[in-house]
Each structure stands twice: as structure tokens, then as C-alpha cells.
Amino acid sequence: MTQVIKDVYTSYLSGAVVVTPPPNNVEFVAAPAMGGPVLQKVTISDKMTAKSVFKGGEMLKALEERIDAGSQVIYAVRMASDNAAYATVAFLASAAPSLTIRGKEKGTWWNDIEVDITADGENRTVEIIDPGTDDVYAFTASTLDALVDAINAGQNLVTAVKDGTALPDAVSGQALSDGNDGNDLANADYLAAITLSEDYPDVNWVHFVGAADAGLWASILTSCDHMIEDGIGERFALLDLPVFNPADPEHPTTNEIENYKSAVFALGATAKNRNAVFIAGNGQFTGSDGTVYWNRLTSTLSGVLASSTVSRSLLGQVPVNVSAISPEWSRGSQVELVTNHVNHLRFQPGVGFIFALSENNPPTGDSYNRVEKLRAVYSAGKQVRAAAIPHLGRPNDSAGEGLKILEEDLKRPLDLMIQQDEIDSYELTVSSTSEQRAQGLAVVTLQVNSLKAFEIILENIHLD
């Protein structure tokens, strides 16, 4: 890779820059949800926060599956289409509009929240009952303005909206309804989330849940290529394949498996890109509410990747959050999946479910056809750029001595990567012509050798 680093002046004689390696485990997840802000980044590191913010739906599943698999920092963004709606209930005062109570955010989670109103002379008391916790919030006032203000200041469950001037009539057993998650996402909803992801150059993995067609993949991979080629950030795209949907997930037929495989290979062939990572098949998971469900294995793969060191392979790692897989691939099917660069799980007696591959989906002939090799290359480039930061905006150096110091500083994190067995070797040069020095430009050329293609394979040997 060759990078032109702008505004790098060459007389900053540090020689002792200590660079903290940038993180290699930040994930960006975009998915529909039952709650949460739309198209806003929320940083998630634990399941309690995930459930509190997003309430449920595909987003909560994706976050919980990741965290169980080892994720540490996730930027979560809720996608919602135009049909997303607030759950509401309206109240009247002598047949005239008076007060509307609506969910704090758009989504289905607020449906069935109960609201009761009682009258005591000139006062009205509004009770709001959370069906999930049975918590009761009660507010009393003698004017509609005061009642609305009290409700909105006293809890974070719903929002009160004034529709008229008179206090509402007494009524009981009214519930919020018609909340909608907006799950029928259009391509424009995905494209908005893809664009938003580019605002976060520290992201290493992007996953747009449910984007399972070649057109959306092309947009996602174009975004990844842009981030990498322009030196903004390094990232992989974990691309969702169609869900495997047999009549009986625990006993799929041979026909169902073969048809699924054919569809996977045909789609995967349309996304030959070194930043594309696929995993085929479904896993059985248990949600935080105790519900057992089947889902794609993409989030588990992402969590394991994000918890692994740069040079570590996926091969043979055990996803602890998966209790069953569908389908269980035959030996012949496993060979086909490997040939087509599709990651998957297989069952190993005595161990359980393990990853059977550690590959991205590069074009034919690309030497970086393994996730851990490409991660090492990307991490090296990122750390070199980080090491250049202290050299920005310093006075110029016509003698060129500063270039030597710059080169030494850029090599320091690479030497550390070698010591940590993350790369095998590298070649780095820094050059700047007199014209480039006048503009404060330095050209950095870096070649990284990460040839860690061999895996430790343990085989049981039976001696008679």
C-alpha cells in the first residue's frame, strides 16, 4: 500500500513517539428494532443496555448474540422505514380532544401500556402502568397544562401531548396501540445507514442485518473500499446470506440443504471482494427473555472475530452461544463451502460446534484470502497512520533529517506487531521531493508480509 500523508512536515525530531495501537474490535450494526432512536449511533457493550435502548426485535438479537460471542464495543444504529409509528391512546373531554399519550419512541414495544384516568373534583389523576415491570406512574393536576408537564417530567416511558384545553374525562383500562417498528425496510433505509457508518473511521466490522441481496452488498462493499482506499479506516463487511428456512429446522431434508447451498453459492459469486465475509447456516439461540429461536450465524461470527487478536484465525474456535445448528453439513458439503470461501460451523465430537473456515471472499488470485491475514495488513496500515499524527503541522526541514525520524517513528508500531506475532515482516520507506516538502507531503510505502496460512490441526491417533 502507498499513502500520501498530507501536512507532514519533517523537522519534528521526536525519535521516541509512543503510539497506542488503534482498536481492532469495533463493530457497527444496523438493524430494525422495537424501540430506540432511529439512525443514531448508540454505543453498546452489555446486554442490559442493549435491551433498555432497543427493547427487542432483530437489533436486540444481533447485539445479544454478539456480546455472548465476545464483542466488546458495538456501535448500534436502528433502521426504520416510513411506516414506523408511535403507539398511542387518545382521551376526550366531553367529546372534544384533550390528551394523547404516546410511546417515548416509535415501535411496537409500547403497545399495551395501560393508562387509567380518575377524577377527584377539579383534579385528574393519570396512572401509567408498564406491563413489563408492573411499575405504576401516577400524576395529579388541576389543569391540562400542568398534567402534561407532570407526566413528561416524571417518567421516561411515554410522552403526553396536549390536544385541547380541558382536562380529560375519567376512564379506565385504556391501552396504547398501533405502534409499528417499521420493519419492511427499503433499500433507501439501508443506504442511509451505510452512509452513516462512514462517519466512524474506528469501525472494523460492519453488519447491516437483513441486507441479503447482491445490490445492497455492492453498496456496502463500495463503502468499505472507499474507507480503505482513501485511508479513512479499515473494515470488513459481514454480509447476510438468505436465512435457511426448512420446514423443520432440526431435521432439514437433503433437498432443502442442496437448494440452500446452490442459492448461497450463486449469491456469493456476485460479491467477490476481499472485504466480504460470509457464513452459511443458522444457529439456535436463547434470548434474554428465555425465548429459544433460530437465526443466522453472522452476529456470532462477528463477536468471535472482534474478540480475537489480529493474527488469530477463526478456524477451530468454539462459539459458546450456539446450542444447535441447521443444517449440519455433510463432508461433501463442507468441501463445497470451503471451495466457495463460505465460513460455517460443524460439529466435532467432544468439543461441540466449531468454525470450519477463516476466510473472506476475495477475487480469484488475491493472496489475502484469509481474514486474519487481511486484518494484519489493515492493522499495520492503521497504526502507521496513527504514528504519523505527532508529525503533522511541524516546521519544514530542507535537509531531510526529519524524514529519517519520521520513518523510525512509523516503524516502531510495526516492530511491535512482529514481536507480538501479528505480522511476519514488513518493508517501509518514506520519501519527499523538494516540491513535496514545500507542500508538507511525505509518501509512505508499506509492504506487509502476513503469511500465517498454517493452522494447528489436532488429530486423534488410535494405536492398537
The string of pLDDT tens digits covering residues 45-69 is 999 999 999 999 999 999 999 999 9
pLDDT given for residue 452 in this prediction = 59
Residue 294 C-alpha cell reads as 433460530
* pLDDT above 70 for 220: yes
Cite the residue boundaries of each domain of the chain with CATH code 2.60.40.4290: 88-175
What is residue 403's predicted lDDT score, i.e. its pLDDT?
78
Residue 410, classified by CB atoms within 10 Å of its CB into exposed (0-12), middle (13-18) or buried (19+), is: buried
| SS3 call for 239 | coil
What is the pLDDT, as a whole number, of residue 132?
Answer: 74
- Give the C-alpha separation, 83 to 37, whole Å: 15
DSSP state, residue 441: -
CA distances from 399 to 276, 387, 436, 437, 443 (A): 45, 22, 13, 10, 17
User: Parallel, antiparallel, or unpaired: how do β-strands 41-44 and 73-78 relate?
Assistant: antiparallel
Residue entry with cell 498454517: 454
CA quadruple 424, 430, 431, 432: dihedral sign: positive
- 310 burial type by CB count under 10 A (0-12 exposed, 13-18 middle, 19+ buried): buried
Give the helix ranges, DSSP H, for 104-253. 144-154, 187-197, 214-229
Q: Which residue has the cell 435491551?
A: 51
* CA 6 to chain centroid: 31
Contact 220, 212 (CB under 8 A): no
Q: Which amino acid is at 38?
A: V
Fold topology of 88-175 = Immunoglobulin-like (2.60.40)
Q: Give the chain's mean pLDDT.
A: 88
Give the range among 153-162, 214-223, 455-464 with minimum mean pLDDT. 455-464
What CA–CA distance (Å, rounded) separates 87 from 89?
A: 7
CB contact at 8 A, 335 and 320: no
Residue 1 and residue 7 in contact, taking contact as beta carbons nearer than 8 Å: no
pLDDT greater at residue 92 or residue 399: 92
C-alpha cell at 407: 520513518
In this structure, what are the phi and psi dihedrals at residue 241, rounded to the nearest 5 degrees? -85, 165
CATH 3.40.50.11780 maps onto the chain at 26-81+183-355
How many separate helices (H) and strands (E) can be counted in the chain? 11, 21
Rg of the Cα atoms in the chain: 28
pLDDT in tens, 328-374: 999 999 999 999 999 999 999 989 999 999 999 999 888 888 898 88
74 vs 419: CA distance, rounded Å: 29
Mind spelling out the 3-state secondary structure of 291-308?
CEEEEECHHHHHHHHHHC
Residue 82 reports pLDDT greater than 50 = yes
Q: How far apart are CA 264 and CA 242, in angstroms?
A: 7
Of residues 135 and 190, more confidently modeled: 190
Which one is predicted more confidently, 459 or 48?
A: 48
Residue 9 is predicted with a pLDDT of 53
* pLDDT tens-digit readout, 12-49: 445 555 556 666 689 999 999 999 999 999 999 999 99
Task: Classify the C-alpha dihedral 410-197-355-334 as positive or negative.
Answer: negative
Whether 141 and 214 have beta carbons less than 8 Å apart is answered as no
Q: What is the CATH number of domain 26-81+183-355?
A: 3.40.50.11780
The contacts found for 360-364 with CB under 8 angstroms, 24 or more apart, are: 360/236, 360/274, 360/275, 360/276, 360/277, 361/268, 361/271, 361/272, 361/273, 361/274, 361/276, 361/277, 361/278, 362/272, 362/273, 362/274, 362/276, 363/272, 363/273, 363/274, 364/272
Residue 450 confidence (pLDDT) above 80: no
